[in-house]
Chain A
Amino acid sequence: MTGSTAELERIVAKAVSACSLPSLQAPSAPVNGSLLRFTGSFDEMGFDSLNYMEFCISIAVDTGVELSVAEVARLNSPTAVIEHLSRRAHDSRG
């Protein structure tokens, strides 16, 4: 799994973007380029269950780490997900 913060930011930003499928309610977060420039929660972005699922899948296909909807909801924000993934990468490197 990748460990650099910049890379994780890019992956999480992409995951938020992946929730913007035409048939889904688009999250309102301002995702711009490769970096996240916001600190809001998933609730504030208007995430519903399908948004959570797409977010989790996108994280999994890019990192190989599969988070559950419950874990992501508990983490509550993209920033917290980045920190969580960063910690896991650090722990796995021992």
Chain B
Amino acid sequence: MFLGALRTIFRDCPDRVAAIADGRLVSFAELDANATSLASQLGEEGLAAGDAVGITIKDEYLHFVASLALMRLGCVQITLASHDPADYRELTARRTRTVAVLAENAAQGLPAVPTIIPEFSASAESRRAPVRSSPPLDDAVCMYLTSSGTTGRAKIIPITYQQLYRQSRDYQLPAAPEVLYRPTPIDYNNSKRHRLYNLAWGGTNVFADARPLDTFEICQRYGVTRLSLSPLQASTLTRTAVDCRRRLPGQVQVRLGGAIASRRLRLEIMADLTPNLHVTYATSDFGSIATAGPSQHRIDPAVVGSIHPGVQLEIVDGDDRPLPAGEHGHIRVRSPGMATAYFDDPEATAEAFRHGWFYPGDVGRLTAEGLLLFDGRSDEMINLASINIFPAEVENTVAALPGVVECAMFSIRSRHFGDVPLLAVVSDRGLTAESILDYARQKLSLRAPRKVFLVDHLPRNVGGKIARSELLRLVGLASAPGEEGSRRAWEE
């Protein structure tokens, strides 16, 4: 299905621009020829259908061509990103029985796995013989995605060609081809996946430019219609917009993903960067689930919008019983494009994939109109003496107080009462911890934090998500790595 969609685009639209790399326009015909050329080289190197092949390539266009070439051969590709530690890449390659790594040079390869340095013809006239292999079946695995695990052992998600095709349909609702720019490099899983979706829709992918063009210039120069950003990237770009008195061109639709953006950030983006803002709720394991459009951001601070047409979603209790609209519960989803298991991890598979549903580990609610409200991660939910407290609700409430820049809830374990909610707040107007606490108590009552800490910044991981486990140490309630989260730090 996915390769069929690509073949159709390559055949019907050879002159359309498929990619803009370093400012150079690459047609679908040229991209097709490049992928065919590289597939021939890789075939000659001995790679064959079913082989797991790593990609450690930072050059975005080369990585993209390598991805397409491996699909032509029916190989299973896995990104072994150079920004990941070598031992992590080695472990992942060993687990997936990776037979070779495509890298820009030998130094980027792995000691125990052969390295192949990809080459392809730069012209549309491929000098190599065409690939002589049967196209892979739709239910064959085309890629392994890795989740950003914190334990050093990633979850590996096998995605078939059919699933990739279905996900691309769930992802991209508008029928018109887009010009997509994602500042996040292609060697991040979702960045590559979204570019493949876009390609299958006949869209144009804009890759990182070696020239020092900023995002505003890239959008203007290349006619970008969809700009995909993380909340952190969007926040930085919005500050630049304010400082430099710039706005994105009118045709640009901003899509936020990777983490749920606060309402404050959404409204700032709409006021200072572009009114055309969409916030997507998605997971690596499943793909896109829901999107909130410009008219929905004011409905509720937790809104992540309408469920995508191909996706079924339910809110269930701890015994998997569906809950009515308005009630907090666990989110579960299913669609024809979802992954169905983790590779080599039956325990994690049994936990996340049950009864034909995928459980992303999030909690939320549905409104009577069917909009999804996101309340946070299940494992971030705090239970204080049987009171369920959702970080997103607390953070969205306090973030509405003028002078609060951002805030994050965390907890300390009490021997007697469970998890005691605490709140770290960044303020730009000299608010006191007491005034914030009073406000929270008025708004949230028993779900209010029991103490507020003013901090200069919130710790974040590389993906821009708040590192809650760091907060106890930041406010001085834990002194060493590991003394965090659920560990009781109080004297008896």
Contacts and interface: CB of A to CB of B under 8 A. Distances in A.
Interface stretch (B51-59, B217-225, B412-420): B412-420
Contacts of A56: 416-417
Contacts of B412: 61
B441 A60 contact: no
A21 B420 contact: no
A23 B490 contact: no
A57 B417 contact: yes
Given A21-B446, A21-B448, A64-B491, A69 B441 contact: no
Contacts of B460: none
A1 B414 CA distance: 17
B19 interface: no
Contact of B441 (A22, A50, A64): A22
B225 to A, nearest CB: 48
Contacts of A24: 446
Interface string B407-425: 0000010111100101000
Q: Find the residue from B441, B448, B491 having the highest chain A CB count within 10 A.
A: B491
B416 A21 contact: no
B385 interface: yes
B442 A22 contact: yes
B445 A57 contact: no
**Residue of B415, B420, B442 with highest tally of chain A CB at under 10 A:** B420
A66 B385 contact: no
A26 interface: no
B127 interface: no
Contacts of B87: none
Interface string A20-61: 011110000000000000000000000000100110111011
B492 A61 contact: no
Contacts of A21: 441, 445-446, 448
A65 B450 CA distance: 15
Contact of A60 (B385, B420, B446, B448): B420
Nearest to A66: B490
Nearest to A54: B450
A47 to B, nearest CB: 15
A1 B491 contact: yes
B94 interface: no
A54 B417 CA distance: 10
Given A53-B385, A61-B422, A66 B441 contact: no
B451 interface: yes
Interface residues of B, number: 20
A68 B412 CA distance: 16
Contacts of B442: 22
A53 B417 CA distance: 8
Contact of A66 (B416, B422, B450): B416
Contacts of B492: 66
Interface in B386-435: 412, 414-417, 420, 422
Contacts of A53: 385, 416-417
Contacts of A62: 451
A60 B490 contact: yes
Contacts of B489: 64
Contacts of A68: 415-416
Interface string B438-453: 0001100110101100
A53 B223 CA distance: 59
Nearest to B448: A21
Interface string B327-359: 000000000000000000000000000000000
Contact of A57 (B414, B441, B491): B414
B416 A61 contact: no
B491 A66 contact: yes
Contact of B450 (A23, A58, A64): A58
B184 to A, nearest CB: 39
Give the residue among A56, A57, A64 with the most B Cβ atoms within 10 A.
Answer: A57
A60 B414 contact: yes
Nearest to B488: A66
Contacts of B416: 53, 56, 66, 68-69
B490 A64 contact: yes
Nearest to B445: A23
| Residue among A22, A58, A60 with most chain B CB within 10 A | A60
Contacts of B491: 1, 64-66
Contacts of B422: 61
A69 B415 CA distance: 11
A66 B446 contact: no
B51 to A, nearest CB: 56
A66 B418 CA distance: 12
A43 to B, nearest CB: 20
Contacts of A65: 490-491
B384 to A, nearest CB: 8
A52 B1 CA distance: 63
A65 B446 CA distance: 21
Interface string B443-483: 00110101100000000000000000000000000000000
10 contacts: A21-B441, A21-B445, A23-B445, A50-B446, A53-B417, A56-B416, A58-B450, A61-B450, A66-B414, A66-B415
Interface of A: 1, 18, 21-24, 50, 53-54, 56-58, 60-62, 64-66, 68-69
Given A57-B420, A64-B489, 5 more contacts: A18-B450, A22-B442, A57-B417, A64-B490, A66-B490
